[in-house]
Every structure is written in structure tokens, then in C-alpha cells.
Amino acid sequence: MKKIVFLLAASVMMIPAAFAQKTSASKMLDKALSSVVTVAVYESGVGNKTLGFRGNSSEMAYARALDLTGAQGSGSGFVIQENGKYYVITNAHVIESAADKKGSIYVYSINYTKYEAKIVGGDSFYDLAVLEFTGKPGAEITSIAFRKNDIDVGEPVYAIGNPLGDYPYSVSEGIISAKNRVRGGLTGKFGFLQTTATVIWGNSGGPLVDANGEVAGINSQIAFADRGDQSIWQPQINFALEAGISRRLITDILTNKGLVKRAYIGVEIAAAKPNTSNRNSLRASANVETRPVISGVVPGSPAAAALASYKGYVVEAVNGQNVRSIEEVLGQFEKTMPGQDIQFRLSLNGSTQTVKVTTRASNATTMTSISDYVSSAWGGRLLSGTENLTINFNNPQKYAAYRNQASEGIWYVGNTNNSLPSNTLFSNDWIVIAAGIISKTGGQVWRVSDAADLAAALRLGGSTGIIDLVLFRKGGNPEDDSNYIQKRFVLSGSDAVFKQTLWY
């Protein structure tokens, strides 16, 4: 009996504490809500842009090949203050289809006041964008600060946003389930908090706040489980880019002309993965290396002198951290700042070597060198001095050797029923319209206006093992559909194996 009485007394004592905790959370959220905004795209461009290396061309060919003018949408965001100025933080995918002109992006405050905004910069890889108000925001808008210390698993958090674009200032409660999650897909791979605070379409870009009302992360992704031909939403598995990484990226964007600072190595690293949809995959992949391997170096790069003699070596560790996949290698590269040394532990046939490379700053010139390197491997060359990025396929033998046993993969845009022959490529110079992954089930392509744009798309899409180019016949009539083709490069040279590739 005494034990029962004790438990009842303890329960009674917990009620006021729980009530006080809920009351405290309500007051915190009242303050946090005024820093949250709805981000709306009123006019879309044609084709997504890779934030960080963006183009400005608006040639008619874009509209013909990738007409996304009806893709207006909305998402969430929140306001921070830097050096006395307000900025809006959101996801890149919320605004990457916005047109490059005045009046394309607006944000709505808590009292539904509409403010025009413009893009300061961003990074498609981390799915992060920074906007600024074109005029002075009203007094109803407040700013919110990022959390400075690491959050712990089990801490309560709250996702605030505009789910489905119809329910602004919705709040969902949860806890931190896990930290430092790595995600698949083309963008947003590293540094994610996993949380049970439900995120729905339209919450993207909103803040994940802690019990003190500080930003613990930026709501970015939701999870799906594949069951046969269906994808089932997992509402208890949600992801937010954690505060420490977010702060670093935003500082770079605000101080580096809208770009994230990255190191340049000039290395190509690849890992094989069986194509499970191909009946020959098991036989073809039996003797391939599934661990990350140095497969090439970019001429004139830091890696050219240090790593050229180590082609074929397995990358065991980067900067002392063991790596097992392309994603883990990329994660270590992303932690390296320009000018820093990066150390590789490499192995081949039982022999282990440690090699150091001194990095340089990644910029438009170094990105162009990556595009030149990849294009040359395909039997093509990028033409300089042209208004649009133009590629000339001038080496049929090199192209054939690269393609090897892979399907030709040349079609008229939107028509993959009838493959076109190789000589289609070699009959003309081609303007590169876009690059990425074209898929019936949800690929992603980015428009291309220069070689730096192409390299950004290569870096984003290479981890899948395929790259799709959308090409327009130079000098052709933009109204003629036969002047638009898409070309798929299977990086392994075999339909049975995906060669996940990283150019960095």
C-alpha cells in the first residue's frame, strides 16, 4: 500500500512540472513564430539553377527543353540578423526555380505582410539559400539565433513552417532521434539531425528550434520507405541540417560573394555498385572494386603531381578518418578548407601508402578544369569563346572506348523509345542546355550556361553513376524538336554496374 501511495504522490508532483514545461514552451514558441516567414516563388525560370555556380542566360532553347514556367511554389524560411541586417534562410530547392528578375520571390510575415526578396547566394549541395529583403522589413519581423552548442539525442525540438503551403505557422513537437545522419540523393547529404518533429511538404526551409527558442537545424528532408512500386512516407523520420554546419555555410555565403568556400583537389574517385535491375549485374560486378578508388586526376591540379601514380589505389582513410564509400570521402573533403593539406591513406595489393595534397581554392577556373577533364574522357571538348557552353564530340574512338558495353543513350528530348546512333553526336557542335539525372520517377537537372555550371551538375549527379546532358544543335531552329537531344553517360561503361564518381 505504501508503494502505491508513493507512486501517486510522485505523479501528483510531476503534473505542475509538466504543466510549467508546456507553458514555457508556449511562451518560447510565441517569440520564435515572428521570425518565421513563408517564401513564395511568383515567377519561375526555365530549369533549376545550381546555387553557387549560377548562370544568367535565358535563351529560348531552355524553355523548349525544360519548360518549368508553371512550377511556382512555396516553402518556409526564417529571419536571422547579421551585422545589423536581416536575412531570410530557406532551402535551395524552395527558390532554385525562381526567375532571375525583380518580383520573382516574396516572403510573407506573421501578419501576412508581403515583402519582396532576392537571392544573396546559396549552395545546392547542402540545399541552403540566403535571401535578403529588397526594402526595409516591418516591425512585426524579428530575428532568431542559431544554437551555438551541440544538441543532444533526446532533447525536445519543434519544427515550424508552412506545411502543404496552406497552413502557415504550424508547429510540430518531437525529439532529436540521431545526429550526423548521411542522406542519399543528389543534394543535401551530410550533417543532418534526425527528429520526430514532423516535417511536411512546405515546411522546407523552416527552423527546427530547441527548448530555448534557438535554431537547432534547418528543416530539409523527409523519409520514405520503398515497398514494391510505392514510396511510403515515414512521418517519424525527418531531417534538418544541423546548426553548426548551417552557420558556417551562411557566413561563407555572406562574405564570399554568395558562394560556399571549398577546397580544390583535382581528383576523381570512383566506387562500383551493381545495377540490381540488370540481369547481368552479378556476373559483371563480381570482380569490381566497391570501395572508393582513385580513378583519375585533373591535369594541372594539386592532385596531378601527388596522386597521378596512385591510380587504382583504394582510399582507406582521409585525414585520419576511415572511409568506406564515396559519400564518406566527400564528407571529409567538405571539412577541408582551401589551402589546407589533405592526407590520403591508400592501399593496393597489401601495400599501404600515405600521401599528402595541398589544396587550392575552388572557383570558376578550377570548376572549368573539371568540366574539361570529364568532357575529354567522353571524347569531346568544350569550345571557348562562345556565348553559350558548347561541346564538340571530336574523338569517336575515345567516345566508343568510354561507352564500352553501355547503351548508346542518345534520344530526342522526352522520347526514349528510339535510341539515336553515335554519329548524331559527331554531326554538329552542341550547346549544353542542362545536366543532371533525367528520370521518370524523379530525377533532377540543372541548367547550364558555362563550364562551372556543368562541373557543379557533374559533382551533384556523379554519385549515381550516370550523367544526363540536354543538348541543343548549335545553329538549329529552336522551334524544331529534332534539334534537342539528351545523352546519357553511364560512367562505368557497362549497364550492369554503376560507377559512383566524385570529382573534387
Which range, 20-34, 196-210, 423-437, is most confident?
423-437
Q: Are 375 and 391 a contacting pair, CB within 8 Å? A: yes
Q: Which three cell numbers stand for residue 347?
A: 592501399
Give percent of the chain with pLDDT exceeding 90.
Answer: 58
* Nearest Cα to Cα of residue 330 among 184, 498, 210: 184
Q: Where are the beta strands (DSSP E) in 28-111?
A: 36-41, 74-82, 85-90, 105-108
Q: Which three cell numbers stand for residue 45?
A: 525560370
Residue 19 — pLDDT band, cuts 50, 70, 90? very low
pLDDT at 290: 86
pLDDT at 439: 81
71 contacts: CB under 8 Å, gap ≥ 6 = 44, 97
Q: What is the pTM of this model?
A: 0.82
* Nearest Cα to Cα of residue 374 among 474, 499, 287, 272: 499
345 contacts: CB under 8 Å, gap ≥ 6 = 315, 316, 317, 318, 352, 353, 354
Q: Reply yes or no on whether 252 is catalytic.
A: no
pLDDT at 449: 87
The answer to which of 23-37, 221-235, 468-482 has the lowest mean pLDDT is 221-235
- Would you say residue 390 has pLDDT above 80? yes
- Would you say residue 166 has pLDDT above 90? no
- Would you say residue 226 has pLDDT above 70? no
Tell me the pLDDT tens digit for each residue of 460-487: 889 899 999 999 999 999 989 999 999 9
Q: How many CA atoms does the CB half-sphere of 50 hold within 13 Å?
A: 29
User: Which of 109, 204, 295, 301 is the catalytic position?
Assistant: 204
What are the CA-CA distances from residue 19 to residues 173, 174, 480 (Å)?
16, 17, 68
Give mean pLDDT, residues 406-433.
Answer: 92
- Would you say residue 394 has pLDDT above 70? yes
User: Which of 127, 210, 252, 468 is the catalytic position?
Assistant: 127
User: Which of 93, 123, 124, 301 is the catalytic position?
Assistant: 93
- Would you say residue 36 has pLDDT above 70? yes
Give mean pLDDT, residues 99-114.
Answer: 87
158 contacts: CB under 8 Å, gap ≥ 6 = 25, 29, 32, 171, 172, 173, 174, 197, 208, 209
In the chain, the amino acid numbered 452 is A
Q: Reply yes or no on whether 97 is catalytic.
A: no
DSSP 8-class letter at 463: G
d(Cα 51, Cα 89) in Å, to the nearest integer? 14
SS3 content of the chain, % helix, strand, coil (to 5): 25, 35, 40
Q: Reply yes or no on whether 93 is catalytic.
A: yes
Domains and CATH numbers, the chain: 34-133 (2.40.10.10), 156-255 (2.40.10.10), 289-361 (2.30.42.10), 367-503 (no CATH)
pLDDT at 225: 59
